[in-house]
Amino acid sequence: MDIITNILNLFGLEGKLFIAQIINFAILLIILKIFLYKPIAQILEERKAKIKQGLDDAENAKKALVDADNQKTLILKEAKVDADKILENTKVSSENYKQKSTEDAKKQAAEIVDNAKKQAQDEFVKASKQVGAMSVDLSKKIVAKILSEIFTEEDKNTVLSKAVEKIEQGGYEKTAN
C-alpha cells in the first residue's frame, strides 16, 4: 500500500486534479461539439451541396449544349430542305407566270389586232357610206344642172328622181363590192 502511495506521490497523482481534468475535458468537448464541429459539419455539407449543384448544373449545361447543337443541326437541315423547296416552288411558279404572261400578251396582242381590223373595217364602211352620199349629192347636182337645160321642170324631176334612184342603187352595189 505504501508503495502505491509513494508512486502516486512521486507522479503527483491527486484525485482532485484528476477529476478537475475530467470535468475540464467534458466542458471542452461540449463547447467544441456545439461551436466547432457542428458549424464545420454544416459548412462542409453546404459546400458539398453547392459543389454537387455546380457539377449538376455543369452537366445539365453540357447536355443542353449538346441538345442545342443537335437542334441547330436539325433546324439547319430542315431550313435547307425548306429553302430548296421554296426555291423549287419559286422556279416553277416563275416559269408558270412567265408562260401565262406570254400567253396573256399573245392573247392581248391578237385581241388588239382583231379590234384594229374591226375598227378599220368599220371605218372603211363608214368612209364608203360617206363617199357614196357625197357621190349621190354630186351626181344630183351635175344631173340637175344638165337636165335643167334640156327638160321641163316636171320631166326633169321625174328623170332626176329615177336617175337618183338608179345612182343610189348602183352606188350601193359598187360600195358593197
Give the binding site for another protein (CB under 8 A): 9-14, 16-22, 24-26, 28-29, 31-33, 35-37, 39-41, 43-44, 46-47, 50
Nearer to another protein, 18 or 124 (CB): 18
Contact call for residues 163 and 139 (beta carbons, < 8 A): yes
Contact call for residues 164 and 141 (beta carbons, < 8 A): no
Question: Please, what is the minimum distance in Å from the beta carbon of residue 14 to another protein?
Answer: 6
Give me the half-sphere count of Cα atoms (radius 13 Å) on the Cβ side of residue 161: 5
The amino acid occupying position 3 is: I
Question: Please, what is the minimum distance in Å from the beta carbon of residue 41 to another protein?
Answer: 8
Q: Give one DSSP letter per residue of 105-140, joined into a string.
A: HHHHHHHHHHHHHHHHHHHHHHHHHHHHHHHHHHHH
Nearer to another protein, 13 or 134 (CB): 13
Question: Please, what is the minimum distance in Å from the beta carbon of residue 15 to another protein?
Answer: 9
Place of cell 379590234: 115
Nearer to another protein, 16 or 145 (CB): 16
Question: Please, what is the minimum distance in Å from the beta carbon of residue 48 to another protein?
Answer: 11
